[in-house]
Amino acid sequence: MTTTLIIGGAAGAATGYVHDICARALAQLRARGSRIVLTDVAENLAAAPELTERADDVAELDFTDPEACVAWATAYAERHRIDAVMAFREYAVVAAAEVAAALGLPGNPPEAVRTVRLKDVCRERLRDLGFCQPELRLCRSAQDAADFHREVGGTVIVKPRSGSSSEGVQQVEEPRQMTAAFAASCDAAGVALVETFVGGPEFSVEGLIAGGRPRVLAVTAKQVLPVSFVECGHTMPAPIGPEATEAITAEVVGALAALGLRHGPFHVECWLTGEGVVLGELHVRQGGDWIHAMTEWVNPGLELYGSWYDDLLGRPVLLPEAPSRGAAARFVTLPSGTVSAVTGWSDIASHPDIHTADLAATPGTTLHPTTSNLERHGVFVIGTPTPSDAGPLADKLLAGLEVRVVPTEE
């Protein structure tokens, strides 16, 4: 029997798709006969007893501390065999890579994972490798950021250096707006990334690196809110022609290979511009926002985590060539105020093609501004037998939802 160590693999049911990722992965590993060693911080373990009871061993471990994870895993491996190491969270991928390397197990090179985790480092590395990237600067003050803005002109985007979920992302049109934007985006080290705005439709690419080769499983069309870039919709597969799909696929596959990534799922953002494909952020994990579930649905028979596990053990992995079904997610984003009435949600939740539906806005709920993916007010995910049906159906269902909000008095 093999043993899989999971770094940061617990999440309570209230986390929605994060919990589903963990549950799916545990089920697929268990179905392959693996022992499971589940680690996470105490709060996450306590919130997910239905997950911890599926594991053979459970331990408290801070997945954001790679050194602590390596020390714990090394000591554990002296007493128990470990065959594979996995992580599902953005902030756990460095620790997983370091642990796998320390134990001599298959995994992505830690230096490659660290490159991907720092947006400015990754962008400059991709530029050096010949991939189109926006102009950028890692800034240490609002003045530095404003100076860069004056140099490049036009619209710029200010964002945390290593964040996720669109937290802290700001669109800035004028240098005088930079003081507030920099304050919202700078990290604990006092730095923020400023880059030129890239126009054009936005996509993400979902896939798995198996046998050392990146394999694209789906291209996803993204809908985002203006200014904050909070994601409000995903449609899979993207309703674009084969030439555009092939161009996006080739750019992403080339970048992942050039960066030296060797194993596991990936989620890569990009834009399709008049000059070609421009890569955005790269992630060595599955996409959030139920994208993992959508990827499995559009590829019948696919087990994303089981396939990853098989690859880590050196087993052959058969992956689908292209999606044969459709999926779409739509998010509810509402203005600030107090909800007075909701109509149409029951029609969404009861639709036969719905896979999941959750609305946090009920009469009496006080709503706050949506400034990141973590602050949206609801979501539903649909799956359709025909790929082209998912997006239009999702839009039709969303159009039937009415949430009345009484504005907050200032």
Strand segments, DSSP code E, in 160-305 are 170-172, 192-196, 202-210, 213-224, 231-236, 264-273, 276-283
Residue, of 145 and 296, whose pLDDT is higher:
296
Can you tell me the distance from the alpha carbon of 321 to that of 405, in angstroms, rounded to the nearest whole number? Answer: 45
Neighbours of 215 (CB within 10 A): 17
Average pLDDT over residues 120-142: 93
With cut-offs at 50, 70 and 90, classify the pLDDT of residue 184. confident
Q: Express each pLDDT in 23-65 by its tens digit.
A: 999 999 999 999 999 999 999 999 999 999 999 999 999 999 9
State the pLDDT at residue 397. 98
Average pLDDT over residues 126-149: 92
The pTM for the full model equals 0.93
Q: Express each pLDDT in 216-249 by its tens digit.
A: 999 999 999 877 778 999 999 999 999 999 999 9
For the chain, what is the mean pLDDT? 94
User: CB-hemisphere CA count at 13 Å for 200?
Assistant: 15
Structural domains of the chain, ranges and CATH numbers in brackets:
3-105 (3.40.50.20), 135-194 (3.30.1490.20), 199-324 (3.30.470.20), 328-406 (3.30.470.20)
State the pLDDT at residue 410. 57
CA gyration radius, the chain: 21
Strand segments, DSSP code E, in 127-245 are 136-139, 156-159, 170-172, 192-196, 202-210, 213-224, 231-236
With cut-offs at 50, 70 and 90, classify the pLDDT of residue 164. low
Average pLDDT over residues 92-120: 97
